[in-house]
Amino acid sequence: MHLATCRTGRSFILYEASALCDALTTPPTDPRFFDPDHWRHSGQVIGEAPGRGASLFLNVGKAQWVLRPYRRGGLIARLSERRYLWTGLERTRAFREMRLTAELYERGLPVPRPLAAGVTLHGPTYEAALITIRIAGARALAELLLSGEADAVLLERVGATVRRFHDAGLDHVDLNARNLLVDPQGKVWLIDLDRCRQRQPGKWREANLERLQRSLGKFDAAESMPAIRQGYSGARG
């Protein structure tokens, strides 16, 4: 996977050239690629994911993309929902997530293929967004739990998948039932690696699992955690 960087005015873009060539004749050097209104006006928005940031599903060329703007939550969002303090390009949330996702993807882990990360400067602050390939037909674990479609076999597969990421050193700081997707073949995927990082084994692994358990409770599915832990304990590498 070859990542390239370009700059247009106040905007910086880190993109995966080979994947984008399938849909575009030129690299995405236009900052409008990361503007939700650009896609809405072009009529290429075909859906929207729930949650903060309002990720958009885009119909582009031969594939569908996911555009996820970075948005703040909590009390700080009252001051600035979209902007973050600039401390250097490689420390921006978009570039860090793009590089981490690309590394995990190249290692064969089930993450969406990353396409591009965009950062636009506004004085001492910046706005950012990330584009990835949409996983065809995938549904969030949360949806499957609510519909009663998440059986013990699937839940154990969820646990085994989480273990694979932990064995690769990924500390997913927002491991929840919406960030775990299941495709039509039953394969489990992990999304949204914002603020995540690779670490040596430690207590953070159990903290990830406890966060997932709290998430299950929000969907009245706390009883699903033993099966997930069973899959987690039985996984190897």
> 146 with 59, same domain?
no
Are residue 9 and residue 120 in the same domain, yes or no?
yes
Tally the domains of the chain: 2
Q: Which residue has the tokens 């491991």?
A: 175
Q: Give the ranges where 13-151 is alpha helix by DSSP (H).
A: 17-20, 36-41, 93-106, 141-147
| 112, 145: one domain | no
Please state, as a whole number, how many other Cβ atoms lie within 10 Å of the Cβ of residue 160.
18
Specify whether 150 is located in the same domain as 203.
yes
The average confidence (pLDDT) of the chain is 91
Query: Are residues 119 and 150 located together in one domain of the fold?
Result: no
Of 151, 174, 192, 194, catalytic: 174
**Tokens 């958009």, located at residue:** 56
Q: Are residues 29 and 122 in the same domain?
A: yes
Domain CATH for 184 = 1.10.510.10
Q: Which residues does 131 contact at the CB level (< 8 Å), separation at least 6?
A: 28, 33, 34, 65, 66, 67, 68, 114, 115, 116, 117, 118
Whether 61 and 91 map to the same domain: the answer is yes
Same domain, 125 and 20: yes
- Is the Cβ–Cβ distance between 24 and 13 less than 8 Å? no
In a shared domain, residues 13 and 66:
yes
pLDDT at residue 60 in the model: 87
Q: Catalytic residue at 183?
A: no
Residues 26, 78, single domain; the answer is yes
The verdict on 78 and 144 lying in the same domain is no
Read off the pLDDT of residues 17-55 as tens digits, 9 standing for 90 and up.
776 555 554 555 678 899 999 999 999 999 998 765 579
Domain stop point among 107, 133, 159: 133
Angstrom distance (rounded) from CA 67 to CA 36: 8
237: pLDDT confidence band, cut at 50, 70 and 90? very low
- Asked whether residue 166 falls in the same domain as residue 127, the answer is no
Range of the domain at 196: 139-234
109 burial level (CB within 10 Å; 0-12, 13-18, 19+): middle
Q: Given this model, what pLDDT does residue 77 score?
A: 46
Six-digit token pair at 164?
């694979």
